Structure 1
Amino acid sequence: MRAAVLLLAALLTPIPAAAQTPAPPAPASAPAPEPVPVYGFEVVRVYPHDPAAFTQGLVFRDGELLESTGRYPSTVRRVRLEDGVVLQRRELDEDYFGEGLTAVGDRVLTLTWKGGKGFIWNPVTLEPEGEFAYAGEGWGLTHDATRLILSDGTAALRFLDPTTLVETGQVPVTLQGRPVSRINELEWIEGEVFANLWQTDYILRINPATGAITGIIDLTELMPDRSGLDPTDAVLNGIAWDPVGRRLFVTGKNWPKLFEIRLTGPR
């Protein structure tokens, strides 16, 4: 637990020097922040995963995976879970670097990194059905019952109306009151947002009402042999939840494996 919390503390968003002001002394009776629980994992099953897939978004839908990939050309694809076979794929225009993905009803929505543009796809045929715009960068995308939830690499979750795709608000993501940036791929799981923290082997559990990190999932031992993978780019990224079977799937960029895991702990 201590190692995970220390690592998260090192990634807390620094306050610019010009903006720093002396903080008043805390009252002697002020309670210490509650420790954030750290969860372990058990591997339930391992599936093949396309090592050429620079995974950005991952969703489980109708017994298949929907996956978005980055780099050029970026893709949106339907993937058979059992053997990792790509059943169908669409390429984005070379101007766009693909990012997060979510499936909402009869639509699949994907983001682009710096293009300020999202795309709408048919979930069965992957035919393009529209576009939408948003400010800033696009990193991760998920949704609850009433809103889209977008991450942009900063210490924020942004909310969009699922019909108009207009931003309606946001919350800061914080660890014991301090902002945490690099919030990446997102998945809505039973009332919480699970989020990859870019370039780490940790998944954050976030309260969507407050943005507070309520738990840390430590996946540092998930795939210990990463020989041949780029340590900078081939990082943990991709979370998918099967709400019917209550199965949790995770993978990484250019990883040859996708894992079904069960959380343990907290410890």
Structure 2
Amino acid sequence: MPPPHTIKPLLLLMLTTLLPARAGAAPEWQQTVSGEKTTLTALARVNKDPKLFTQGLVIDSGWLYESSGGYGRSKVCKTPLPLASLDKRQSYCQNLNASLFAEGITLYRQHLFRLSWRSGELAVYNSRNLSIIKTIPYRGQGWGLTHNNQHFIMSDGSYRLYFRNLDSFALEGHVDVTWQGRKIKNLNELQWIEGQIWANQWHSNLIYIIEPKSGVVLETLDFSHLAPQLQHRDPDAVLNGIAYDNASRQLVITGKRWPYYFRFQLNRRASQ
């Protein structure tokens, strides 16, 4: 029999040998994001050009389109999918005039539409080669842009979303966005997903899922766990970028000057 003072070390050694080794903790970015009815399962983290000040993000017909803001450095880019094989050399970009600050984008009928921040210019691009076909003036600031096949839906950094004509971009209506009875300001990048509007909020880690007719926020999705992945001290390097692929029901989430895209699988729970 071993001396009493050696029994505890021996037991610990035996337990260590018999118990299976603990698997390493999963990276924080793999955390599932859940709302009341919506679950996003993390699928991949893909390197991104950290210089892109992402303003708009769209997936369409096997391409990822992205607008990047900043006076003198704004651009619109397209990159072939899948993101798993993303290579910066594959991207094709068109630079904007130095007087323009690129904002939200959306695709409709093979055309790419791009807002400008304070210039009141909607640019219409050929989505194949990113050449500008025409520009349409509008009043006010432009932030986020999406559409529901009936209207363009635009944000201007306030609590209001604007519905605009698909041909003329004329204003045809608006809705104020509220959550728990209060108006939600700083609405930014937008995406139309399965009959609802998804919206980033400037300087927030939340994405709001909005009922389009009433403007009521149905759910919030919190992406705070992605912040440690960035190791970024830039105060403007915030969450901003929602792209949705209807065919796969997958989303790509990113932010301004983020070094990564994050790909998620969308799951929705049926109403009880």
Normalised to the residue count of structure 2, the TM-score between the two structures is: 0.80
Q: By how many angstroms is 1:111 displaced?
A: 0.5
**Given that residues 38 and 218 in structure 1 are in contact (C-alpha distance below 8 angstroms), is that contact kept between their aligned partners in structure 2?**
no
The residue type paired with residue 248 of structure 1 is: L
Identity of aligned residues (%): 36
**Given that residues 38 and 217 in structure 1 are in contact (C-alpha distance below 8 angstroms), is that contact kept between their aligned partners in structure 2?**
no
Instruction: Report the equivalent of 2:76.
Output: 76
Q: By how many angstroms is 1:42 displaced?
A: 3.1
- Pair 1:247–1:116, CA change in 2 (3 A): same
**Given that residues 250 and 266 in structure 2 are in contact (C-alpha distance below 8 angstroms), is that contact kept between their aligned partners in structure 1?**
no
* Distance across 1 between alignment mates of 2:75 and 2:56: 11
* Distance across 2 between alignment mates of 1:228 and 1:167: 38
1:103 aligns with 2:107: yes
SS at match of 2:225: coil
Select which of 132, 137, 140 maps to 1:136. Answer: 140
The residue type paired with residue 43 of structure 1 is: A
* Distance across 1 between alignment mates of 2:182 and 2:227: 30
Higher relative contact order (CA 8 A, sep 6+): 1
Q: Over aligned residue pairs, what C-alpha RMSD do you find?
A: 1.8
Kindly provide the CA deviation profile for residues 34-77 of structure 1, in whole angstroms up to 9, marking residues without a partner as x.
xx848664311111211110000000011110000101320011
* Distance across 2 between alignment mates of 1:54 and 1:38: 31
Q: By how many angstroms is 1:118 displaced?
A: 1.2
1:92 aligns with 2:96: yes
Q: How does 1:1-267 map to 2 (within 5 A)?
A: 37=36, 41-71=40-70, 72-80=72-80, 81=83, 82-85=85-88, 86-230=90-234, 232-262=235-265
SS at match of 1:221: helix
SS at match of 2:91: strand
- Pair 1:84–1:206, CA change in 2 (3 A): farther
**Given that residues 249 and 265 in structure 2 are in contact (C-alpha distance below 8 angstroms), is that contact kept between their aligned partners in structure 1?**
no
- Unmatched segments (≥5 aa) in structure 2: 1-34
Q: By how many angstroms is 1:206 displaced?
A: 0.5
* Distance across 2 between alignment mates of 1:221 and 1:84: 26
SS at match of 1:94: coil
The residue type paired with residue 79 of structure 1 is: T
- Pair 1:40–1:220, CA change in 2 (3 A): farther
Q: By how many angstroms is 1:177 displaced?
A: 2.5
SS at match of 1:164: coil
* Distance across 2 between alignment mates of 1:223 and 1:264: 23
Q: By how many angstroms is 1:96 displaced?
A: 0.7
- Pair 1:260–1:157, CA change in 2 (3 A): same
**Given that residues 45 and 259 in structure 1 are in contact (C-alpha distance below 8 angstroms), is that contact kept between their aligned partners in structure 2?**
yes
* Distance across 2 between alignment mates of 1:73 and 1:243: 31
Normalised to the residue count of structure 1, the TM-score between the two structures is: 0.82
- Unmatched segments (≥5 aa) in structure 1: 1-35
Instruction: Decide which structure has the larger Cα Rg and report it.
Output: 2
**Given that residues 50 and 84 in structure 1 are in contact (C-alpha distance below 8 angstroms), is that contact kept between their aligned partners in structure 2?**
no
* Distance across 1 between alignment mates of 2:175 and 2:201: 17
Kindly provide the CA deviation profile for residues 191-228 of structure 1, in whole angstroms up to 9, marking residues without a partner as x.
00000011111100001111110000011102423224
* Distance across 2 between alignment mates of 1:174 and 1:154: 11
Which is helix-richer, 1 or 2? 2
Number of residue equivalences = 230
